[in-house]
Structure 1
Amino acid sequence: MNKLPRIHGGPDGQGAPLHDFSTNSNACGPCPLALAAVQQADATRYPDPGYTDLRRRLADFYGVDAGRILLAGSASECIFRTTAWVRQQGDNTVSLPAHAYGDYAHAAQAWGLRVVASPDDADLAWACEPSSPLGQNHGPWPAWLQGDAAHAASTDQVLVVDCAYAPLRLDGAPSLGNAQRQRVWQLFSPNKALGLTGVRAAFAIAPLGAEAAVAQLDALAPSWVLGAHGVAMLQAWTQAATQDWLLTSLHSLRGWKASQVALLQGLGWTVLPSDTPYFCARPPQGVDVPALCEALRARGIKLRDAASFGLPGHVRLGVLPPAAQQALADALQSLSPSKVVEGACF
């Protein structure tokens, strides 16, 4: 079996970039209230192994029964555990978004699930909305989700919607209504919206009536799947002041995004549409994307080559403040075209 490469944005073997456009973390962060909660967390004691208070807070915040809350060490941990659970049930097929986070495929490979093209043919179907890397709505959805509740009840497919970027939506509207969302698994990882990606913690909301499945997935998790810092961050997520900060940050991000898009377009780039504070873009014709990313990384600027998402010739850029944008513009203008054309060496 050929192991799929694990490629992520953020710090790498060279350390943390000075200007990191390669991640989707909220550039207005970290959220002060959430950061304070994490810093003040009591790391001298185990958390409550049942996470009673945290489950209640999350359930109240989302207006669901606490029995529908599944806690996870991170979104990635939940992806792998869910895949293992599906395989444990005897299922063996999975569908993936056309362009998506690599851990869906990594988990499928690890647990021997066969990837199928259509979500209608899959035992486990992954969706992400807004998507990454494109920041657009997901599609197509399985046919059963478009029907009535009785039709939905007849399926045993596990459909998981990764909602990691839903709190960062700047434009547009979700493609699923509330009734449809109650029929699917919804996976949340608030660390991106809070600008605290180094704190690993996530949770999922199970479909209506799926409390037994939550118990089965809980049984597959180790004790204390969340540490004290993850608990503190998720508790802070449910506070009104945190949500107020998030709304204010979205206003700033809209302005920064508009200027970043205009900057790249002014330099001859093609920017793909997105509803989020990240987007994909294609440099001018003839520019070699890996060479460009390498040249910029040497200047303290990191972009995400979108080839690993199935979009060769494109990069994904998170929206950063004006100073970082100016650094990017200066670096791009300083690079001789001969240094970043296809096949060039540095």
Structure 2
Amino acid sequence: MTHAQSTFHGGPDALGVPTWDFSTNANACGPCPSAQARVLRADARHYPDPAYTALRASLAAFHAVAVERIVIAGSASEFIGRITAWVAREGGRRVWLPALAYGDYARAASAWRLERTPDPAQADLAWLCEPASPLGQAEPRARAVAASGAATVVLDRAYDPLRLSGQGSLDPAALDRVWQLWTPNKALGLTGVRGSYAIAPVGGENMARSLDRLAPSWPLGAHGVALLEAWTSPDAQAWVAQTRPTLARWTGDLRALLASLGWAVQASDAPYFCAEPPQTLDAPSLRSQGIKLRDANSFGLPGQWRLSAQPPEAQAALRAALAAQEERVA
């Protein structure tokens, strides 16, 4: 699990915010105007309601579930750490992970000394993500894992609102048997505002209460509350839906650009994908020109890069920079 334990992420780095950032999976059409306005209006002079009563009710109504199934989290990463801690505290010893997955699943498991198992039926905690990162594809074993009898199964749905094709592997009945983790800041193009929530399985209300008790006081600040409140609004939902055709067009353009330069481009259901260049990429040179790609080595895909759909001007800058690299190699 060494590669998966990296804290390496896309987005800003020691050099600041990239001018052309292909490394982040945030909605490139963002930020969502109505969500940003609500965040800017947030009253940061006061603590939020420590029980998040109104927010829980809004999220429960939005998903048509009982309010007792809603767990508020500071971020997806915070929830990943918290539910892993709960599983370990309850005597869990084994975790099942997809072959390629977000590194925090493995990092949290390692911190709590959970052993990775190849058999989800033997797992005390199992992780799914659709569309997955880094590939943006369906998880081949999703249905089997959800039906495996693993004690706790979590489906990370961070990128589901940005899905451009395909559909989730789990039907409504299967979804009711697993935890669902939602992180709307990516879809809303506001990743600098941290805030997340999870929906417990049907019958998982007691575990939800236990996870609430494990949380620090006020895991969400006023701005995170505003983000999640905005997420449930018709305006924000309409905006996200309206961005998908644009993201699909930009994704197709980016795939065509890279293919024309000899890259091997993988399939994806999301506005991001992995691709392998025909020769070693000079990433520091690209970064010096304000262009950042996500090195997929930390996901266990050496030689490949994850790129997200970006506007035409960003793609033009990438094309020019890659063409210049090719000329230098030639």
Alignment check: 8 A CA contact 2:88 2:114 kept: yes
- The reply to whether residue 124 of structure 1 matches residue 118 of structure 2 is no
Match of residue 323 from structure 2 = 333
How many residue pairs were aligned? Answer: 329
CA deviation after TM superposition for structure 1 residue 144, in Å: 6.9
Query: Structure 1, residues 259-315: CA drift from partner, whole Å, max 9, x if none?
Result: 11111111111110000000000111xx124xx222211111000110110111110
- The reply to whether residue 255 of structure 1 matches residue 249 of structure 2 is yes
Alignment check: 8 A CA contact 2:163 2:270 kept: yes
- Once residues 143 and 10 of structure 1 are traced to their aligned partners in structure 2, the CA distance between those partners, rounded to angstroms, is 34
Normalised TM-score (structure 1) = 0.92
Query: Structure 1, residues 8-27: CA drift from partner, whole Å, max 9, x if none?
Result: 01111111111000010000
Structure 2: runs of 5 or more not aligned: none
Normalised TM-score (structure 2) = 0.96
The letter for the 1-side match of 2:242 is: T
- Once residues 260 and 163 of structure 2 are traced to their aligned partners in structure 1, the CA distance between those partners, rounded to angstroms, is 25
- Once residues 269 and 24 of structure 1 are traced to their aligned partners in structure 2, the CA distance between those partners, rounded to angstroms, is 20
Match of residue 312 from structure 2 = 322
- The reply to whether residue 288 of structure 1 matches residue 289 of structure 2 is no
Alignment check: 8 A CA contact 1:22 1:303 kept: yes
CA deviation after TM superposition for structure 1 residue 337, in Å: 5.5
SS in structure 1 opposite 2:186?
helix
- The reply to whether residue 15 of structure 1 matches residue 9 of structure 2 is no
Write out aligned runs for 1:107-146 (5 A). 107-141=108-142, 143=144, 145-146=146-147
CA deviation after TM superposition for structure 1 residue 120, in Å: 2.1
SS in structure 1 opposite 2:208?
helix
- Once residues 219 and 277 of structure 1 are traced to their aligned partners in structure 2, the CA distance between those partners, rounded to angstroms, is 37
- Once residues 119 and 320 of structure 2 are traced to their aligned partners in structure 1, the CA distance between those partners, rounded to angstroms, is 44
The letter for the 2-side match of 1:325 is: Q
Match of residue 155 from structure 2 = 161
Alignment check: 8 A CA contact 2:31 2:190 kept: yes
Alignment check: 8 A CA contact 1:119 1:142 kept: no
Identity score, percent: 55
CA deviation after TM superposition for structure 1 residue 238, in Å: 0.3
Query: Structure 1, residues 223-273: CA drift from partner, whole Å, max 9, x if none?
Result: 101000000000000001110000100011011111111111111111100
Match of residue 177 from structure 1 = 171
Aligned pair partner of 1:299 in 286, 289, 299: 289
Match of residue 149 from structure 1 = none
- Once residues 12 and 66 of structure 1 are traced to their aligned partners in structure 2, the CA distance between those partners, rounded to angstroms, is 38
- The reply to whether residue 221 of structure 1 matches residue 215 of structure 2 is yes
* CA RMSD in angstroms, aligned pairs only: 1.7
The letter for the 2-side match of 1:323 is: E
- The reply to whether residue 95 of structure 1 matches residue 96 of structure 2 is yes
Match of residue 81 from structure 2 = 80
Alignment check: 8 A CA contact 2:123 2:150 kept: no
Alignment check: 8 A CA contact 2:146 2:153 kept: no
Alignment check: 8 A CA contact 1:120 1:142 kept: no
CA deviation after TM superposition for structure 1 residue 129, in Å: 0.6
Match of residue 274 from structure 1 = 268
- Once residues 183 and 107 of structure 2 are traced to their aligned partners in structure 1, the CA distance between those partners, rounded to angstroms, is 19
CA deviation after TM superposition for structure 1 residue 338, in Å: 5.2
